[in-house]
């Protein structure tokens, strides 16, 4: 039987439908779970990438925090005992024992405890004693303890004249020995206890070491990563440098020590406006030239007083410097104060608060104090 044209078309359409059904059934429908799983995995990867991108953007902030902690650790090392100088601390105890030995009435030692300052941990243990000294002998003890600033501080003392005897005093004193790590504190604590157990009174009787010495409520050790000395281009937290046009290269720069690689750089013959904003634990430095081009730096600040170094060095008689000027505005909404050092030649720098009032010596509103 011969098929006519219409029947052939219908058979072809039917075959096409069968193939389409088979494709949908065997390929698309069977692949849907895999497609869904792949989409879910893709979304997870995208979320991970976004999180990594955010971490990358914050890497400079993390570096600033690490640098701040490293500075704090260096400051702690200036005041507290470390493993490296444990022998010096033992010698300190030995010499103190010689000064106290024949005059001691009672002594108490407390176990090491942990302290925290600026996010750093350190340790201390108390020693308290009562003794009988002449006034000069008491002064010698005070001078010796104060001379050991890295080992000990005097937490309390009392001086009471004795009823019997000339120039004799009943002395009660509290000391605290500090260490940057627990191991050194434990070693010095155990050595101190064993050394003090050897003490005897004037009659040769033993003096028993008690264990009830208490640490002061407020630790005398206060550590900060701030450099409290003179502010300079070598140690400030924020820098604004403004030079004459013929200086060569960018004659304006602004940056922070929390991220020295990120800087605003401008070559200009005209005015530059700078706004330093502190809010919470973050800072922003906005620098805008006379054409309205703005550059912005951002980062985090540590919980301590901050420093700003400003240098404006130019010759106003030079023709290229006629319109040069730098106007600096500070908006401080943080809890930290800002100490400022200004090195200026040429009279082309103006420091202001958020209202445009020039700061000559200090601004209580912005917590700014010029050295």
Closest Cα to residue 342, out of 232, 268, 213? 232
- The pTM of the full predicted model, rounded to 2 decimals, is 0.43
Q: Encoding tokens for residue 88?
A: 């010096």
In angstroms, the first-to-last Cα distance of the chain is 112
| Residue 369, burial from CB neighbour count under 10 angstroms (0-12, 13-18, 19+) | middle
Q: Encoding tokens for residue 344?
A: 């200026």
Compute φ and ψ for 9, nearest 5 degrees.
-65, -40
Domains, in order of start, for the chain: 78-210 (3.30.70.60), 238-370 (no CATH)
The pLDDT value given to residue 262 = 86
Q: Encoding tokens for residue 52?
A: 């990594």
Q: What CA–CA distance (Å, rounded) separates 343 from 347?
A: 10
Cα distances (angstroms) measured from residue 17 to each of 7, 10, 12, 24, 119: 15, 10, 9, 10, 73
The pLDDT value given to residue 252 = 92
Q: Which residues of the chain have pLDDT under 50?
A: 78, 83-85, 149, 220-227
The pLDDT value given to residue 250 = 85
14-40 pLDDT per residue, tens: 777 777 666 666 666 666 667 677 777
Which 3 state secondary structure label does DSSP give 165? Answer: coil
């Amino acid at each position: 039987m011969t098929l006519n044209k219409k029947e052939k078309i219908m058979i072809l359409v039917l075959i096409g439908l069968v193939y389409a059904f088979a494709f949908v059934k065997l390929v698309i429908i069977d692949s849907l779970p895999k497609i869904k799983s792949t989409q879910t995995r893709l979304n997870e990867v995208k979320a991970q990438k976004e999180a990594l991108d955010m971490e990358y953007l914050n890497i400079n902030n993390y570096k600033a925090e690490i640098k701040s902690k490293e500075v704090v650790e260096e400051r702690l090392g200036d005041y507290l005992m470390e493993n490296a100088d444990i022998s010096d601390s033992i010698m300190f105890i030995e010499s103190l024992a010689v000064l106290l030995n024949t005059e001691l009435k009672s002594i108490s030692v407390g176990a090491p405890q942990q302290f925290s300052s600026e996010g750093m941990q350190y340790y201390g243990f108390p020693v308290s004693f009562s003794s009988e000294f002449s006034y000069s002998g008491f002064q010698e003890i005070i001078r010796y303890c104060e001379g050991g600033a890295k080992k000990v501080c005097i937490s309390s003392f009392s001086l009471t004249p004795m009823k019997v005897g000339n120039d004799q005093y009943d002395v009660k004193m509290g000391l605290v020995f500090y260490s940057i790590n627990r191991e050194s504190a434990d070693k010095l604590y155990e050595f101190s206890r064993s050394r003090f157990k050897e003490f005897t009174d004037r009659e040769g009787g033993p003096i028993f070491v008690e264990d009830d010495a208490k640490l002061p409520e407020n630790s005398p050790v206060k550590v900060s990563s701030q450099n409290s000395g003179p502010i300079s281009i070598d140690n400030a937290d924020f820098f604004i440098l403004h030079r004459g046009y013929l200086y060569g290269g960018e004659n304006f720069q602004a940056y922070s020590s929390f991220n020295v690689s990120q800087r605003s750089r401008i070559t200009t013959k005209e005015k530059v406006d700078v706004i330093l904003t502190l809010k919470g634990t973050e800072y922003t430095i906005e620098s805008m030239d006379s054409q309205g081009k703005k550059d912005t730096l951002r980062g985090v600040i540590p919980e301590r007083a901050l420093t700003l170094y400003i240098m404006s060095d130019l010759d106003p008689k030079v023709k290229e410097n006629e319109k040069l000027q730098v106007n600096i505005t500070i908006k401080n909404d943080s809890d930290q104060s800002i100490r400022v050092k200004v090195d200026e030649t040429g009279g082309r720098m103006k420091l202001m608060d958020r209202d445009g009032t020039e700061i000559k010596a200090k601004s209580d509103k912005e917590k700014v104090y010029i050295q």
